[in-house]
Amino acid sequence: MVDLTTEERLVLFECLHRMCETERIAVSHPAEAVVIDKMAAQLERELTEPFEPSCPATLAAARDSVLDQYQELMVEDGWVSRVSLEQS
């Protein structure tokens, strides 16, 4: 479970909502990076998979599963299919 304050949840919501609306994965304020970093640190303490030798295969399977579940729920591909994976 990721634990965020009300302020952090608001910052994260705005960041994620903007990403969905603009189809551009990027932070627009340093506070967004702070919240993402906090979440990553919490996940790092909870997960064991990133430290296992099988992580690349486990991650690939998890990505496929998450995308398959998303696509089953969506009538159309939605914005996710239009996001550029090579953003700079």
pLDDT greater than 80 at residue 57:
yes
pLDDT greater than 70 at residue 88:
no
Burial of 27 (0-12, 13-18, 19+ CB in 10 A): middle
pLDDT tier for residue 12 given thresholds of 50, 70 and 90 = very high
List, as own/partner pairs, every contact residues 41-48 make where C-beta atoms lie below 8 angstroms and the sequence separation is at least 24, other chains included. 42/2, 42/3, 43/2, 46/1
What is the phi-psi region of residue 6: left when phi exceeds 0, alpha when psi lies from -120 to 50, beta otherwise?
Answer: alpha
User: What per-residue confidence (pLDDT) applies to 87?
Assistant: 64
